[in-house]
Amino acid sequence: MNKLLTRGGIEFVAVFLGIALSFNVEEWREDAQIKNRLRSDYINIKKDLEKDLPYLKRIALEQQTANQSSVKMLTMLNPDSSFDYNDFMSLNDKSVANNTFFGTQSSYDASVSSGRLTYFGNDELSNEIGKIYSHHYYRIHYNGELLDNTYFRELPILVTGPLASKKIIRQENTQIIQSHGYITELQLKEEIQRIYVLRCEAGIDQIQKVIKMLDAELSE
């Protein structure tokens, strides 16, 4: 009887250990799969950021150049400054940069929706990555919409090109340029351009920071 109990106990323990071991092996496999997928997420996010970075730098430079022209236009409209119509119209052509930035975040969204980045990723790295998309890209997109509205809908339109040199067009343009409404909208455009460039520069700094962090994480 004792032998049967002993044998039964051993068999029970063996079965229990076998089940526990199988659970551990399965859990280990799942952990390994999650880590591999998370690593792939990091690689894909890094690729997206490396693609976005030169694009954002180019947009920031274009808008900065346009902003410099807007500043010069406002200076020319200062009562204490001399106004030259041809110079002003030349600056007007340079004061518009139609391109605004739209970042790539499909890899980030996929990692977040899977829960890998949020629950299994390096907390500090996950937070810094999140700042790019939820803070920097959001603010850049928002200010980009404001800038587009200023360029295409709010700022009074001047006749440009060869027609701008014709006397009647010149008179009409000058009348618009010297109006209070035009000056107010030009001031708004200059301010939005300046803020947009600052948003882009902050985004560039954050992207560069995160790329370095991703390199360090992937090298481990």
pLDDT for position 20: 43
pLDDT at position 25 is: 40
Which residues have a Cβ under 8 Å from the Cβ of 63 and sit 6 or more positions away?
97, 147, 193, 196, 197, 200
Q: How far apart are CA 199 and CA 139, in angstroms?
A: 7
Residue 17 confidence (pLDDT)? 44
Count Cβ atoms within 10 A of the Cβ of residue 9 and give its class: 0-12 exposed, 13-18 middle, 19 or more buried: exposed
Low-confidence ranges of the chain (pLDDT < 70): 1-32, 153-154, 163
Chain centroid to CA 190: 21
Structure confidence at residue 5 (pLDDT): 45
147, 193 Cβ separation under 8 angstroms: yes
Farthest CA pair distance, the chain: 119
Q: What does the pLDDT read at residue 59?
A: 96
**Global pTM?**
0.81
Q: Which residue has the tokens 């001047």?
A: 158
H, E, C per residue of 125-139: HHHHHHHHHHHHHHH
Task: Sketch the domain layout of the chain as residue ranges.
Answer: 2-218
Structure tokens at 190: 């200059």
Asked if 94 and 133 count as a contact pair (C-beta separation under 8 A), the reply is no
**What is the C-alpha separation between 191 and 196, in angstroms, rounded?**
8
| Secondary structure class of 156 (helix, strand, coil) | coil
Q: According to the model, what pLDDT value does residue 124 have?
A: 94
| Distance set, CA 10 to CA 16, 171, 219 (Å) | 10, 104, 47
